[in-house]
Structures are given as C-alpha cells and as structure tokens.
Amino acid sequence: GQTTTIPKSDQLMSCERTYGAGWETCGGESSRFCFSPELGQSCCAVDYGYCERGTWCAPVAGYCCLDSEDLETCARNAGFEIPGHEPSQTEDDSFRALERDADPSDGREVVVREVQVSVARRKDQWTLAGLGTGLVALFMLSC
C-alpha cells in the first residue's frame, strides 16, 4: 500500500484548528503536515505521510504495509525494494511480480485510496502499451 500525502494546513493555524479535534502535526512543530490518531492513522517519519488503521509505515516513502505482512512480503506485494537489501529474484521472477501487481487477483482489499489509483494506473500503462506478454518480457530482459 502507499502512504497518503497529508493535506498541508495553513501556516498560521494548527492541525487541530484546520481539520478539527484529534488532528496532530506529523513531522515536528514547524511541520505543516497533519494526521489523526483518533481515526487510526499513524504518522510516517520517512515522508510525513500517514498510514490508515490496519497498516504500518514502510521504510520507503509512499508505502504502507498491512498489519498481517512482514516487510519482505509487503515489499514484494507493493513493488518496492527494501533499502540496503539486495533483491534475490531473477528477471523472470521480477516480471511475474510486476504482472501480478499490475492485475491483482488475490481479492485483497486495498486500504489506502491512492494505492487503488496506482494499481489502476499500472494496469492502464500495461493496457496502453498494447504489447503481448512475450514482447513485454523480451523488453524487460533487454533492459
């Protein structure tokens, strides 16, 4: 999943005054980013985004992981690389992972709205490319 970029509050107003009771600053007193622990959101220090209830902040900006996932599973499912971790997949395995991410069939509900947009965008990119699986694989192997 991806983190949601938090709305910026007016510089002269606190998060609570801008968004209502229960909203807090994410990123220090001078930050203009807000989140709501009362709604189950948690502040992500890596990018000052937030993750919704049932998810946790990945160590990569823009991603949330499901509570039921460990870091490696989350990275594989979401399509990011773990910082300082060498991927062990072959290029063929990487292609299958990208293909699975582009057309999720596991029926898992996506918690953060931006993730749905990203998945749809990836799906559109694959569709707009108009390439068969073999051509895409050939292209990816040549990179």
User: What is the pLDDT, as a whole number, of residue 109?
Assistant: 35
Task: Supply the pTM of this predicted model.
Answer: 0.51
Angle between helices 91-102 and 133-142 (to 10 degrees): 130
8 Å CB contact between 58 and 74:
yes
Per-residue pLDDT reduced to its tens digit, 49-83: 999 999 999 999 999 999 999 999 999 999 999 98
Per-residue pLDDT reduced to its tens digit, 81-90: 998 876 555 4
Residue 131 has pLDDT above 80, yes or no: no
User: What is the pLDDT, as a whole number, of residue 5?
Assistant: 58
